[in-house]
Structure 1
């Protein structure tokens, strides 16, 4: 097991190194970073002075070494151009709100998607199965912004059950954003689990358990569901990245004070160092979540080993 964990950790470290290069290149792929940061209203002298102050006039490889040393040794991305403070602490200040929304959305997706997918497989061929599949298809097809606006219109404006924005009312504030963000993941989990359960039901160990007189409930929960959850674990790991990215739209709709909304504001303000810090933080989180999911995958199926 230790070999498996160390191998996955080594792969994660390689991915983080590649991310460091990509985040650095974000500033340079769009043109002159000094002109990008200052905008079209700045003079040539201001651009030249800013380029010198930020070190953008040095060779590219020297800039990368300085950037990598600052990130890896001191966790520094530079000062935010808008806030005039170190960029990473600003990102970390907004991160808890985004993680709260992401985990809430994933919790809703699992709470709804797992039993729905299981019931759809058990009720295969019935009208209830068809109805659940249609709802899941709609959940994957509907745009996030449309779902968010619809929920605000119905539950916040017309019924007045939940607030339409902000984070000041506890679970009531997170209810609509979490439902909005979880729609696609819920539908994906439902459809994948249904297909996985149908495949597991045809396996020999299931028929053997039934032939030995094991009750249908025990067979379903202990044998079928556990083995069917393996592909769902992989999907959940990928969906975390989707949720973190989708939070940009959801947080903007509901004025949720998280990292996604901060990224949108940083793009509008051309705050390149804040964008770098935010993108790298989200990417590292995604790598860390996938690392944890790999370990969980092995725990669910001990046959998995790193060769």
Structure 2
């Protein structure tokens, strides 16, 4: 298969450049030319054989010509002419043999370079495969970490939603508690107002009791005065006294009822305060 011209030109250019860099002291290796030209090993090896032959084929091929001595000594014996022809043939043979030996040595050099280049490529390929394995393992580890991170992010998102729901419920309960506290404060205010009204009513009751006691005392005094004036008046006074006692007993009953009512109101106020204190 004929080699692509662009590839061939790149190989030849690279070989010439490397040869000049070496001061034409040694031919460049196939692997070095391959790397510079950026081609595969087979194309580099085939083209380098051609390039090396071109470098070694500088001398003109040996031409078999009749020696000058033959022309000058054409009269000499046929043996001398044959000897000269044989010498010329031997020189051509030696030249051909030297060329063949040089080409064989060149082929051996190319083959050795190819072997070394293939060994180098094999080592590079092995190193590349190890690097690929390392990168693959690293990629798989990164994928695993990415998956774990995604799972943690999802768990965090769910936990955040749960926390937000709990916060919303707590906020709603706080609003309800605040509303209940407001209601309880209103109830407590009403209880305080009731207590003030009860105190006022108790004060009025005490005042009424004091007035009633004054009235009873006055009536008793008048009865005593009538009792000491005359017997008749005493009898009447007794009647009045009995009546006053009945009235006094009546008033005392009323006073006791008022006292009982007062104690009930005071107990109710105390109970209301305890209930209000517990609610707050």
TM class, shorter-chain normalised? under 0.3
Q: TM-score, normalised by structure 1?
A: 0.20
Q: Larger Cα Rg: Structure 1 or Structure 2?
A: 2
